Structure 1
């Protein structure tokens, strides 16, 4: 039996989750460097949670400067079994208006500056990633939203741009014409690394704006984004709190095998693996390292 510990990655609006008790900030060291911040440990009902401010308290890190490997490794080290990301996004569709919550099921990675894998020279691994989010977590998020009477749209493609600048009009029109649903700056390589760490992952995308393609919104206004974020904060807190409260005590197997993604992923022969890299992979890949 593996005890469920729910990891939440998000912004400052989620610090004060309804029903959170025994809360304390805990520092977690990692061999990949410093995490974005300390982790807020606590419980909602009988479910243990670990909340990580993705940008650090006070929003200290831009999307390109976040140490995604440290964040995921650190959560793995404290026993997190499942991760839910709560992220602000722009929308490419009229029907996904500001204020809408979307449960993402696909990603397009347009980032260029970020370390996107724990593996590399000395220990090569290839994990399946055709379905990057866990349908089991999406089911539970959808049920939590319905219980709290919070409208959500299930399914959507999130294109992750590098940032920190917002899109050009040409980029916005390009992504819209491709049929993508929302745009953000933070979920890649976060989702990839969660898969390598065998942690089922889901994203709640909170639409804050229409990006710059919309004729009535010819540029993204940060003040307007923050205004919508604040308006959404209560809904997001209630959604995550209900999701955590109703989560099973024993980690449920992921329907697509995200929690066993490394089962056949390691390619480098055991006698050719770099001991220094193996030492850093103890938390992420310890389950399969002896094979």
Structure 2
């Protein structure tokens, strides 16, 4: 038995080869997943090896690898992603929304900062990283193909029972599974996923949504979505409104560490979601309803 983890944004491992980076992330995240099992009261539950599908060397822009996140560096497509993302944070009045849609990005991000009670520097850093990697994945065909190939090849080789896909990784894994319907996964878990983000992600998915609904990949047996309601990337956080998710659960993680893969892996809800698929079935009730 194995688990494949697909990372999200801001996971580029500078100075390491893709294999070295995957091994390093696996070393970091394996103990966190075990911590989640302990928190769920599943200390004795068997936990198979965690293999990481590392694709960040494709989605990171070379000129931004070591730079400080800078709004002035964003191109038109990236600015459009930031606007779509920011406006999806809440439901301002039509007048407010029209004004924000044409406001300078810094003003728009200040609105997000005040609305969510998160420092502007944190919001800005996240927005720049999200927009850059999402833009390269969705709008540079060779990057999209390469990232999907990494995920598909590891799933084919490792034959996991569970795929844990975080952040942008949930988009890569979703499309890779659709592109390779022969790949079978007992349980697909999306964590902090932006799959349903209107304008920025949802409208660019392949296959394209039909009647405002995304489709389940053919090889996925069961789909669980976990999101922190305060996660700035998991917008909207209830994927069940747009995708055939079998279960959804909110997993509160705090205001400062609201999106990291390690924090999601440490959640007892993640452990409860995947335990039936990686070992003994005698566990607490499943995490919730879609």
> TM (normalized to structure 2)?
0.33
Q: Which protein has greater RCO, CA pairs closer than 8 Å, 6+ apart?
A: 1
Which one has the bigger strand percentage? 1
